[in-house]
């Protein structure tokens, strides 16, 4: 049975349109409650508990209430965290010994979108088979438990403080960030009341950007998807380094004092190189089909094994677990350090990078000087849902033509977004001009086929 509602990162869409409607989300809460409870039964008379966190979108209030209603009807207690980064929900699910965690967020998407994603009691993404079981349960009638068995809700008032201390615990006790001026861009998202405190309490001078959420401005002109705001702030304040997160805090981009941007590939390289130099790297590094060839080649020069997974942090994690590796991620900035956390975490990844730089007494540019990143052109083509680019002869001909021209010195990749109705066209090669030209050629073929 294929998944009907779950994409690569839970259920996501435009608020008010199926499936992100109050009635569906209530039924989703009920279905998830029934399935997750059956997967992890508790003692006799105990109510299982589910943790709920959200980002700063205005629709989070509505969807949180709908989830509460469904979970309560299934006999599940609810622990409310309020606005909290996605990785914080994963951590607090484990720390509070809950049966599952739920995040209400659409990550880097605009505020009009929202979504629901789940964590297991171990703080990991749900396996596909459990997501399929939840989808199957959605077709069953919603049968409310008796009044005496309904779940209760309570708020965890110290959730932010708990998570701040957890993040700080991943940074060596013998190191600090004193003397470092850092700009922190929280994208008006879930890290706004977390990340600045973490870096400040470790000794840094912190200048804040994107920390005034109003429910409508998440990811708007700031954060990891709009890095120009961070670059401008770093220049204005003569900062040493800048750190930007996305709306739910699981992605990271950094800039140096000169405004140069360091994406997930380069940041993973920094962490891998540091760990290898200090005998701390277990196995190799997991990337994705989007990981830059230059990063792969640079890791090869260090004799660090590298492997690619499908795009999506769940697939990176599966590859890491299958090989017993501890480090992996995506060029979008989703970085997983399994020896520090069970899931990708922007704050913790930033601390790992800063640890490497502090110990080496180096800048980002110094530490990545040997990485020759290939020019990469990425074009998003909006399509109608259900368009099959793999079966279109025109699109396939354009792909073959581009790959034939690039040969062994480039890559062409088309993939459907798991979160939006888009086809992502990626072309990579040694020279920027033909890379850009082929990307535009393929994108035009996709656009024409999708409209035809």
Residues involved in catalysis: 107
Q: How many CB atoms lie within 10 A of CB 452?
A: 7
Please count the other Cβ atoms lying within 10 Å of the Cβ belonging to residue 44: 5
Q: What Rg, from alpha-carbon coordinates, does the chain have?
A: 22
Find, among 134, 125, 119, 129, the residue nearest to 33 by Cα. 134
- DSSP lists the bridge partners of residue 209 as 185
Pick from 407, 403, 415, 408: nearest CA to 441: 403
Query: How many residues make up the chain in this entry?
Result: 452
Rounded distance between C-alpha atoms, residue 87 and residue 118, angstroms: 11
Measuring CA to CA, how many Å separate 101 from each of 47, 79, 87? 15, 9, 10
Nearest CA to 140 out of 237, 221, 27 is that of 27
* Integer angstrom CA distances of residue 294 from 307, 336, 372, 374, 424: 14, 20, 5, 6, 20
Structure tokens at 405: 């021209």
DSSP state of 127: P
């Amino acid at each position: 049975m294929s998944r009907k509602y779950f994409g690569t990162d839970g259920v996501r869409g435009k608020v008010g349109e199926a499936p992100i409607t109050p009635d569906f989300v209530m039924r989703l809460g009920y279905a998830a409650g029934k399935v997750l409870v059956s997967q992890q039964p508790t003692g006799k008379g105990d109510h299982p508990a589910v943790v709920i966190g959200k980002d700063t979108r205005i629709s989070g209030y509505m969807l949180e209430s709908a989830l509460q209603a469904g979970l309560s009807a299934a006999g599940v207690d609810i622990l409310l965290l309020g606005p909290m980064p996605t990785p914080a929900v994963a951590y607090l699910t484990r720390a509070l010994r809950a049966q599952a965690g739920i995040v209400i967020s659409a990550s880097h998407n605009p505020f009009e979108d929202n979504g629901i994603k789940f964590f297991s009691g171990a703080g990991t993404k749900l396996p596909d088979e459990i997501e399929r079981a939840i989808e199957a349960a959605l077709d069953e009638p919603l049968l409310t438990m008796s009044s005496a068995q309904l779940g209760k809700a309570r708020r965890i008032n110290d959730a932010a403080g708990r998570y701040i201390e957890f993040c700080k615990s991943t940074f060596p006790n013998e190191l600090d960030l004193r003397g470092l001026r850092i700009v922190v861009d929280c994208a008006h998202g879930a890290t706004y009341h977390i990340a600045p405190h973490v870096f400040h309490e470790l000794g840094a001078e912190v200048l804040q950007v994107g920390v005034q959420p109003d429910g409508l401005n998440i990811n708007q002109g700031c954060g990891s998807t709009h890095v120009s705001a961070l670059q401008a702030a770093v220049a204005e304040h003569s900062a040493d380094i800048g750190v930007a997160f996305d709306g739910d805090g699981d992605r990271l981009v950094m800039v140096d004092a000169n405004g140069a941007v360091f994406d997930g590939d380069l940041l993973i390289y920094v962490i891998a190189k540091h760990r290898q130099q200090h005998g701390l790297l277990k196995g190799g590094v997991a990337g994705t089909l989007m990981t830059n060839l230059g990063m792969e080649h640079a890791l090869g020069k260090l004799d660090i094994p590298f492997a690619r997974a499908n795009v999506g942090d769940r697939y990176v994690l599966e590859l890491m677990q299958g090989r017993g590796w501890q480090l992996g991620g995506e060029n979008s900035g989703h970085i997983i350090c399994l020896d520090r956390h069970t899931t990708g975490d922007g704050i913790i990844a930033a601390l790992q990078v800063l640890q490497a730089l502090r110990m080496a007494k180096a800048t980002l540019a110094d530490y990545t000087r040997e990485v020759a990143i290939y020019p990469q052109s990425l074009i998003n083509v909006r399509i109608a849902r259900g368009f099959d680019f793999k079966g279109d002869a025109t699109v396939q001909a354009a792909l073959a033509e581009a790959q034939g021209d690039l040969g062994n010195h480039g890559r062409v990749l088309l993939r459907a977004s798991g979160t939006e109705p888009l086809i992502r066209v990626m072309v990579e090669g040694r020279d920027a001009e033909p890379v850009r030209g082929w990307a535009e050629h393929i994108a035009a073929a996709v656009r024409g086929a999708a409209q035809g």
